[in-house]
Amino acid sequence: MGFEHYDVFVLGSGTAGQQVAKRCAREGMKVAIADNREYGGTCPNRGCDPKKVLLNASELIARTAEMAAVGVTEVAPINWQALQKFKEKFVSAVPIRTEENLEKMGVKMYHQSPQFLEDGLLIVEGKKVTYDKVVIATGLMPRPLHFEGSELLKTSDDFLELPELPDSMIFIGGGYIAMEFAHIAVRCGVDVTIIERGERVLKMFDESLTSHLEKVSEDIGIKFIFNATATSAEELRKNIRVGYEKNGETEYVKAEMVLNTSGRVASVEMLDLDKANIEASPKGIKVNDFLQSVSNPNVYACGDVADSGALPLTPLSGLEGSHVAKQLVSGEHKKYTFPAIPTSVYTQPQLAIVGMSEADAKKQGVDYKILAETVPDWFSVKRLNSKDYCYKTLKGPNDEILGAQILAPEASEMINLFAMAIQQKLTCTEFRETIFTYPTFASDAQSMV
């Protein structure tokens, strides 16, 4: 009895995986897709989208709190249960809608993580299937922590599903997820502590901006423990006590809930990659310029799970998936050229970056000029009664925009202008000559170059 055979088998139903499956199916290829969680991937189910719904509440609190001294007489109260119900309206339909769309296109769906048996052969839902090409788009998962009591820790998935907020929280790790969720929690009245191994949070950003964000965070009640490594967790009657090592000494801090926000790693642990000769690193599947496995030409990887050197971002996952699909359909390889990639930390104020940092420019030997300033008197923030506004931009020797970092209430929108300018190779002069509506944060951007 022969095994079911597919032209393309896709692992992962997120943005990247869907792009591949749909394009290949439209072209008449026999396609299957598998996922061991709800269909749709991390971003709409348990990541960017539901997170942003909850962030709206903390942003409202931040804005009204800053305006309290100049006429807004009451800070908005938050009903967490009602907010969660509102968030669920965005999330609940995603898996069903995703499966319906794939089914209409004739894509066979499996609801389990496959395992490779050998090159060209895998097993899923107890069935052996063969394939010509396989695309791995399984995304990332929380980085496991291995110390006594680590099983007591929650993850970002748990935070997004909390029926009610605890009185206190500890976040282990000071990256994007920790900072965003800490800002939500503390503004909703939770006592928050962040334990970070390094000297500061958000290491990919310039220290001049992260130090400002740390100060804002401390002012709203977040406590930081830097240069500290969590070593244990112990369940007490009400709280969990976390042990951490700092300066050679073991110290303790406790909270009602502890979250592992130490980063994310490639979700490949169940795939048995070695059996199909697929090389991986701690960052994911090793790929070449075509997003093709360096060790097996029948394998491609796209999205967050690909060790491509790019940031793990949903818009980029979609572009990578589209690129892989084009190659599978045409049979022709083409180098993938990464666009300018903006990213933002949705704290309040927000922190955003695109292009080169100063460290990048030094490492690459690029000539540059820095423009950096803290601008609490600019109208955009002054009208909000906020003082948290600073930026750092890099200009090249030919008037080109090399990179930008912004800390501002609307930094996540402002950075898109710089991304477009860098992608379209606008000079600083051309950027300044563009007309933007005034007074807006967009018009501020012209003064940053």
DSSP string, 170-235: EEES-SHHHHHHHHHHHHTT-EEEEE-SSSSS-TTS-HHHHHHHHHHHHHTT-EEE-S-EEEEEEE
pLDDT of residue 48 exceeding 70: yes
Query: How high is the pLDDT of residue 363?
Result: 93
pLDDT of residue 433 exceeding 70: yes
Q: Which residue has the tokens 């925009």?
A: 401
Residues in the chain, overall count: 449
Query: How high is the pLDDT of residue 213?
Result: 98
**Beta-carbon count within 10 A of 77 CB:** 9
Spell out the domain ranges in the chain.
4-46+87-142+265-330, 150-262, 343-448
pLDDT band for 429, please (50, 70, 90 cuts).
very high
CA nearest to 136, candidates 254, 306, 371, 338: 306
Mean pLDDT of 94-118: 97
Cα separation, 325 vs 318, whole angstroms = 11
Mean pLDDT of 153-182: 97
pLDDT of residue 1 exceeding 70: no
- The architecture of the domain spanning 150-262 is 3-Layer(bba) Sandwich (3.50)
pLDDT of residue 314 exceeding 90: no
Lowest mean pLDDT among 64-68, 94-98, 171-175: 64-68
pLDDT of residue 250 exceeding 60: yes
pLDDT band for 416, please (50, 70, 90 cuts).
very high
Query: How high is the pLDDT of residue 315?
Result: 86
For the chain, the distance separating the N- and C-terminal CA atoms, rounded to the nearest angstrom, is: 67
Mean pLDDT of the chain: 96
**Any bridge partners for residue 411, and if so which?**
none
Helix (H, G, I), strand (E, B) or coil at 359: helix
Q: 343-448 — its CATH code?
A: 3.30.390.30
Q: Strands, DSSP E only, in 23-178? A: 31-34, 108-110, 115-118, 121-124, 127-136, 140-142, 168-172
Query: How high is the pLDDT of residue 77?
Result: 84
pLDDT band for 73, please (50, 70, 90 cuts).
confident
Lowest mean pLDDT among 86-90, 98-102, 294-298, 410-414: 86-90
What distance separates the 2 farthest-apart alpha carbons in the chain?
77
Mean pLDDT of 48-76: 90
Q: Do the domains 4-46+87-142+265-330 and 150-262 sit in the same CATH topology, yes or no?
A: yes
Per residue in 120-138, pLDDT (tens digit) is: 999 999 999 999 999 999 9
Q: What angle do CA 410, 420, 366 make, to 5 degrees?
A: 100
- Specify whether domain 4-46+87-142+265-330 bears CATH 3.40.50.150: no
pLDDT band for 59, please (50, 70, 90 cuts).
very high
Query: How high is the pLDDT of residue 282?
Result: 84
DSSP 27: T
Residues in contact with 298: Cβ distance below 8 Å, sequence separation at least 6, in sequence order: 119, 120, 131, 132, 133, 134
Mean pLDDT of 338-352: 96
Mean pLDDT of 131-154: 97
pLDDT of residue 312 exceeding 90: no
Residues in contact with 425: Cβ distance below 8 Å, sequence separation at least 6, in sequence order: 400
Query: How high is the pLDDT of residue 76?
Result: 80
Mean pLDDT of 129-150: 97
Mean pLDDT of 338-359: 95
**Beta-carbon count within 10 A of 412 CB:** 18
Query: How high is the pLDDT of residue 69?
Result: 86
Q: Which residue has the tokens 């809930």?
A: 257
Helix (H, G, I), strand (E, B) or coil at 241: strand
Mean pLDDT of 323-345: 95
Q: What percent of the chain has pLDDT over 90?
A: 94
